[in-house]
Structure 1
Amino acid sequence: MTGNADLLEQFTALDSATVSDALDNCGLPPGQGGLPPMWGRPRIAGFAATVELEPTAGVHAGAHILTDAIAVAGAENIMVIANAGRTDVSSWGGIVSVGAALRSIRGVVTDGACRDVDQARELGFPVFARAQAPVTARGRLRQKSAGGPVRLGDVMVEPGDVVMADEGGVVVVPRERVAEVLAEARRVRAREARIEADVRAGTPLPQAMRDARLAGVEKQ
């Protein structure tokens, strides 16, 4: 296995659709949509640092949600926030973007809403979320867990799994299957590049895009 930084660079050289196809081919859950970047066109890959939120009633006491988890994450991490897809209350905001950026965290993917996108944009901090909502989490959400498995949409994410996100979607690669999925993604990319080259050279589309060829089960 390559070093962690090099491994993540290899994933950022791909795109979410290619990695999703590779996950399919490896019998793993594919990528998912509905988590677009809240600004720009970032592409990030990192090891999941997980937090699960849940509803609460009343005023928070002690440290705000997310703060402890951000304080122990670092330059190879992406924050993954489980909030059951809620879009009526923010699960990520401007001050935590500042704190995460200062820790060199690569970005956040939250299964919920966010706010203060202008601050994230000014920081260059990538935020992927279901929606934007100005409503504060204070008195509405509390932190159920940090550093454990969480559900992101239809996919379970374990701490340390590779998460990749771009404008096309979000993919999660189990840490123990990273080498296999990366190798398959490279095969997918090379195969599609050959097909695209043939189409550009004049090969009729039905011939170029045979199902068997796209699946990589015949010689090229």
Structure 2
Amino acid sequence: MSSDHGADYATTAARLGCAPLVDAMGRLHNHRAHILALSSPDPTRPLFGPAATLAYLPYRDDLPQTGTGFGELFYQAVGDDPAGKVLVLSGGGYRDVSHGGGTKLSRVARHALAGVLADGRLRDFAQLRDHGFATWCRGEATRWGGDTVMPFAADVAVEIAGVCVTPGDYVFADTAGAVVIPRASIERVLQEAAKIDAEDAASVARIRDEHPPP
């Protein structure tokens, strides 16, 4: 993804919003791609970018991966070109448990990622808001969750609310919900979503002019 194309894609996606993108995915693909509305420290910030995935699993103290830690897996996930990516955190079966907070996720700001999509709760909403990136998750948490879920693998396919997300898929989220778009389909989906948006506008115009039957 060139930076120019990425900026153009992000601008177009934000203008269209989640619903037309979901409808476009429905026209072009047969699999589930939509995620219902999530929470955000700042709902005015839409989220868009290619996915960098990090899989959580239920905590176990006997697995060597537990010693790897979030930081090492974060860098494995985002790779050598992290700017503009979306860090996607799977739920590990515990959507109501904290998967991170302002301290761990300060890496997202430091490396200029677009933001975070988490299928779990996050701590420190005020701090996350101040970091300046877009964050969408299951809600704010107060308690640390490291004894319940653990980051286990990076740069792998993950499941978010019944949707498969593979590294490099495009992710968009706003107040309506979220959608996951295959990388190879992004231009077609954006074009189809623009057509849907225009069709909807034309329908609204016709409805305004219609009259009830006599």
TM-score range, shorter chain: 0.7 to 0.9
**Structure 2 CA distance, aligned partners of 1:169 and 1:33?**
5
1:203 corresponds to which of 207, 210, 214: 210
Identity %: 29
**Structure 1 CA distance, aligned partners of 2:179 and 2:83?**
19
Higher alpha-carbon deviation: 19-28 or 185-194: 19-28
**Structure 2 CA distance, aligned partners of 1:37 and 1:198?**
36
2:52 corresponds to which of 34, 43, 49: 49
How many residues in Structure 1 have an aligned counterpart in Structure 2? 205
- Residue 210 of structure 1 aligns with which residue? none
- Residue 9 of structure 2 aligns with which residue? 7
- Residue 201 of structure 2 aligns with which residue? 193
Please tell me whether the aligned partners of residues 71 and 103 of structure 1 are also in contact (alpha carbons under 8 angstroms): no
Alignment of 1:70-89 (within 5 A): 72=79, 74-84=82-92, 86-89=94-97
Residues 96 and 204 (structure 1), Cα distance of their counterparts in 2 relative to 1, 3 Å cut = farther
- Residue 23 of structure 2 aligns with which residue? 21
**Structure 2 CA distance, aligned partners of 1:55 and 1:68?**
21
The one-letter code of the counterpart of 1:68 is Y
The structure carrying a bigger strand percent of its residues is 1
Secondary structure at 1:127's aligned position in 2? strand
1:92 aligns with 2:94: no
Name structure 2 gaps, 5 residues minimum: none
- Residue 32 of structure 1 aligns with which residue? 35
Secondary structure at 1:96's aligned position in 2? coil
Secondary structure at 1:191's aligned position in 2? helix
Please tell me whether the aligned partners of residues 47 and 135 of structure 2 are also in contact (alpha carbons under 8 angstroms): no
**Structure 1 CA distance, aligned partners of 2:104 and 2:11?**
25
Residues 147 and 67 (structure 1), Cα distance of their counterparts in 2 relative to 1, 3 Å cut = closer
Secondary structure at 2:119's aligned position in 1? strand
Secondary structure at 1:132's aligned position in 2? coil
The one-letter code of the counterpart of 2:6 is N
1:64 aligns with 2:67: no
- Residue 148 of structure 1 aligns with which residue? 156
- Residue 160 of structure 1 aligns with which residue? 168
- Could you state the TM-score of these two structures normalised by the residue count of structure 2? 0.84
1:85 Cα deviation from its structure 2 partner: 5.4
Secondary structure at 2:106's aligned position in 1? helix
Q: Which has the higher relative contact order, 1 or 2, with Cα contacts under 8 A spaced 6 or more apart? A: 2
1:147 Cα deviation from its structure 2 partner: 0.5
Name structure 1 gaps, 5 residues minimum: 207-220
1:134 Cα deviation from its structure 2 partner: 1.5
1:116 aligns with 2:124: yes
The one-letter code of the counterpart of 1:149 is A
Cα-to-partner distance string for 1:70-96 (whole Å, 9 max, x where unaligned): 663622201111114524421121112
- Could you state the TM-score of these two structures normalised by the residue count of structure 1? 0.82
Secondary structure at 2:87's aligned position in 1? strand
